Structure 1
Amino acid sequence: MDPDSCSTCPFCDLPVPSSQLQWHANAHFHDPALPQQSEQSVSGSELEAVSGDCNNWHGGETSRDNGECKMDEKISCLIGLQTRSNFYKVEAGLIALLRNCLESETENSKSILSCCIDHFQSLNSEDAGWGCGWRNIQMLSSHLLAQRPEAREVLFGGSGFVPDILSLQRWLEIAWEKGFDAPGAAQLDHAVYGSKKWIGTTECSALLRSFALRARIVDFGPKESQSVVGISVDNTVDKTRNDKMANSKVKSEAYQVLMDFVWNYFSDENSIQFGQQHVVICEKTPLYFQHDGHSRTIVGVQAKHQQNGILPYNLLVLDPAHSTATLERSLKQKIGWQKLIKKDRNTLKKPQYQLCYVDPGIASEEEMEDLKTIDSIFLEL
């Protein structure tokens, strides 16, 4: 038997590289809790070996096809052998802890939060300095898997878990090969697996859209940047699809546009009624929040009551650069959590920002073609 061919697992009916079939099948016996849609973890080196067995992600020959490996074979192999991401699980849930802190505040305010999200921190041993974009994808994915049954069914082949960065890099390459975000794929040379290349909202959108999810992008910036789709966060990356960043500092008042958008997004433009429910949980997805150099995840927004007609807001943000254990401790003790999570408009210093969110539902086949082109809504600061 050709070792590079794919065989079918007799227990879960997944196509598996022949060289990995015995190990894969044995996993069903070693873990009695293992579901029929296999969720076992493998190391990065094993995943790399699998990608070689499904040879080759960017060309090569297989026994089944004189050309490159078929797309469905690549996807089947990745579904069966992708790695579950390790992360620090907060048993009480970060959103529940944050809600308790917000409710304990005495000021006249109203907060709106997304529910059910896990925090994925960057690790010095893995992705410190470059992995924030992938960590935000993991955070957004954890919410989608927990809250949207239709997303859970399609994301990552229905595995039901958040993959590690190496697996996500393979999923992004598959999205590119399917035709999603062709300019972005070309900018990153059609390859990210095993690299430290920076990614952002555009890559997040392409990856999620490849699963028929309606990921949307909103740009905020000066008028001359209206045509921009994607903010470069790596000085070594080709910036041909990005206008030059504005040199002058945008005044603080201009960021009210961004703050208003975030409030209206989470509140669904409902009227603000102070003095009633202090903290509201909504069904909206968190926001992937990017600027030049870093990205974070907005999980909610707080509005403070004021008499002058302008509502001051605090964005409620989870930062991949923060330790999950530190966040948990500060929220449980209700000490120092505001500095870690609350961001008012005075903390916004960059001339351009981008947000990515996911609308409900699954795209039709006709809609999928349109989703391959990554566009955005532009709002001038």
Structure 2
Amino acid sequence: MHYYHIVKFDEGWGCGYRYGINEVPQIFKLQKYIEDSWSQGFDPAGASHFDMNLKGSHKMIGAVDLLALLTYLGVQASLVECRSSSDAMFDWIWQYFVDRQSYPTGSESDSSRDSEAFISPIFFQFAWHCKIVIGIESTPKGKALLMLDPSEQPQITYLPNVALSIHSIRQTKEQCREYGKELQCLYIRSKAILTKEQSESLKIPRASCRI
């Protein structure tokens, strides 16, 4: 996984674009891809909201916009919405990583093993900001999510300071309550590419799960 934090250029609006890109020209390219998806009928509500004009702007995007874009590009992605509590979303994210830590052995092919081992980071959106969840941690003090904030440059170092590095990105259930109740999580389900027919059938972005 590559992680890129916001620079001065996109400070205050660029967090949604930082789900895997690192340079300003790539932000503009991503904006152009979103406009291309609108022209093909993807996410009409988003197209209307942005008035079909995004490239070169400082307009913020979120999980729904990225879901529509990924679907347009043939990527299998899913959106989870939470309207109940941050605790419910914390538990869902925790279980997401737990379920993917152990995979059956003896798969029929290398490709199937590769697919089973795929664990996507989670694009976590709340209010007008987003973070990237890259894992979980269980300690005698309790559970925590490991969460990168695109608006900050994390102090990630190598041993022997790894404990301090993890501390800088650790978010407990209590800390996550600051994010409110209306939350969204976006993740990539599989490395397999959608067929054109599958992509066309998913032009209207919808949550696959609500908690």
For the criterion TM > 0.5, the same-fold answer is: yes
Cross-structure match for 1:298: 133
Cross-structure match for 1:341: 169
Cross-structure match for 2:109: none
Cross-structure match for 2:105: none
Residue identity (%): 28
Cα distance in structure 1, aligned partners of 2:52 and 2:186: 22
Cross-structure match for 1:187: 49
| TM-superposition CA deviations, 1:258-315 (whole Å, max 9, x none) | 12211221222778xxxxxxxxxx5211000100021011111123468xxxxx4211
Q: Which runs of 5+ in 2 are unaligned?
A: 103-116
Runs of 4+ in 1 over 6 A off after TM superposition: none
Q: 8 Å contact 2:86–2:183 — kept in the other structure?
A: no
Choose the corresponding residue for 2:186, options 349, 352, 356.
356
Secondary structure of 2:19's counterpart equals helix
Secondary structure of 1:191's counterpart equals coil
| TM-superposition CA deviations, 1:1-21 (whole Å, max 9, x none) | xxxxxxxxxxxxxxxxxxxxx
Cα distance in structure 2, aligned partners of 1:331 and 1:135: 27
Q: 8 Å contact 2:131–2:147 — kept in the other structure?
A: yes
Cα distance in structure 1, aligned partners of 2:159 and 2:10: 25
Q: Which runs of 5+ in 1 are unaligned?
A: 1-116, 140-160, 223-253, 272-281, 307-311
Residue 335 of structure 1, CA deviation: 6.0
Sort the Cα spacing of 1:332 and 1:215 in 2 relative to 1 into closer, same or farther, 3 A.
Answer: farther
Secondary structure of 1:327's counterpart equals coil
Cα distance in structure 1, aligned partners of 2:56 and 2:159: 35
Would you say 1:122 and 2:15 are equivalent positions? no
Aligned length: 194
Choose the corresponding residue for 1:256, options 83, 87, 91.
87
Cross-structure match for 2:66: 204
Residue 162 of structure 1, CA deviation: 11
| TM-superposition CA deviations, 1:308-357 (whole Å, max 9, x none) | xxxx421111111112xx52348763364244211011112212110001
| TM-superposition CA deviations, 1:222-272 (whole Å, max 9, x none) | 3xxxxxxxxxxxxxxxxxxxxxxxxxxxxxxx433212211221222778x
Matches within 5 A, 1:204-243: 204-222=66-84
Sort the Cα spacing of 1:268 and 1:334 in 2 relative to 1 into closer, same or farther, 3 A.
Answer: closer
Matches within 5 A, 1:83-122: 117-122=1-6
Residue 190 of structure 1, CA deviation: 0.9
Residue identity opposite 2:172 in structure 1: D
Cross-structure match for 2:155: 327
Cross-structure match for 2:36: 174
| TM-superposition CA deviations, 1:34-61 (whole Å, max 9, x none) | xxxxxxxxxxxxxxxxxxxxxxxxxxxx
Structure with the greater alpha carbon radius of gyration: 1
Secondary structure of 2:55's counterpart equals coil
Cα distance in structure 2, aligned partners of 1:135 and 1:331: 27
Residue 375 of structure 1, CA deviation: 0.4
Sort the Cα spacing of 1:378 and 1:166 in 2 relative to 1 into closer, same or farther, 3 A.
Answer: same
Which protein, 1 or 2, shows the higher relative CO under an 8 Å CA cutoff with sep ≥ 6? 2
Residue identity opposite 1:138 in structure 2: I
Sort the Cα spacing of 1:328 and 1:339 in 2 relative to 1 into closer, same or farther, 3 A.
Answer: closer
Cα distance in structure 2, aligned partners of 1:119 and 1:285: 13
The Cα RMSD (Å) is 2.6
Cross-structure match for 1:86: none
Cα distance in structure 1, aligned partners of 2:120 and 2:25: 19
Give the number of the structure whose residues are more often strand, by fraction.
2
Cα distance in structure 2, aligned partners of 1:331 and 1:221: 40
